[in-house]
Amino acid sequence: MKQVKIGLCSLVITLILSGCATTGGATPEGKRQAILSMKNETLSALYKVRPGARAQIAAAPGYAVFSNANVNVIFASFGGGYGVVSGNKTKPVFMKMGELGIGLGLGVKDFRAVFIFHDQATLTKFIDSGWEFGAHADAAAKASDKGAAVGGEVLLGGITIYQLTESGLALQATVKGTKYWKDDELN
């Protein structure tokens, strides 16, 4: 019986994530356009709450914007999403992401992340290998323009990361492994 509950829970999580982490386009060109629109909307929202981020991005060799849906069910955390890496001297690189974690928490959260790369080597390494691993704790309660989210700004080894919560209700403290990789269909 316990295995059936775990299996059903995994199925529900997979369905939720597949619904939340889609780009919205039916063709590769449509998907690329949806991702670029998400990027532009996210940057506009970031500049409203952190005006200094505009200058950081202009001075950086590149940046990335990701849309992520995350589900946390008691001891496990799952997430997935998509995004684009833009270099000031290179064409966009479309990417996917997935994450898995363990820790205490409960909730569902839809958020955007902006990564600002402060040197070319870090940007290149992210595109080529893209691993991130670390502890994560946050609280979010937001629906549309109502509510609040705790996220903010983090600086990790040559990357500044901003997180903006779109919607969700979550309270979690987890250790996660996140993998970013090139989207073969869109590049």
Determine the pLDDT at residue 76. Answer: 76
Determine the pLDDT at residue 177. Answer: 74
In a domain, 157, yes or no: yes
Determine the pLDDT at residue 64. Answer: 95
Own/partner contacts of 20-28, CB < 8 Å, gap of 24 or more, are 20/69, 20/80, 20/110, 21/67, 21/68, 21/69, 21/80, 21/81, 21/82, 23/82, 28/185, 28/186
Q: Is the model's pLDDT at 53 over the cut of 70?
A: yes
Tokens representing residue 50 in the block: 């952190």
Closest CA to 64 of 113, 99, 14: 113
User: What single-letter amino acid sits at 178?
Assistant: T
Domain with 170, as residue range(s), is 2-182
Q: Are strands 93-117 and 62-87 parallel, antiparallel or unpaired?
A: antiparallel
Determine the pLDDT at residue 3. Answer: 47
Average pLDDT, the chain: 75
Q: Report the number of distinct structural domains present in the chain.
A: 1
d(CA 152, CA 161): 8
In a domain, 187, yes or no: no
Confidence of residue 181 (pLDDT cuts 50, 70, 90): very high
- Which of 114-118, 159-163, 174-178 has the lowest average pLDDT? 174-178
Confidence of residue 170 (pLDDT cuts 50, 70, 90): very low
Give the burial class of 38: count Cβ atoms within 10 A of its Cβ; 0-12 exposed, 13-18 middle, 19 or more buried: buried
d(CA 62, CA 127): 11
In a domain, 108, yes or no: yes
Beta strands in 90-158 (DSSP E): 93-117, 131-143, 146-149, 152-156
The pLDDT of 102-123, averaged and rounded, is 82
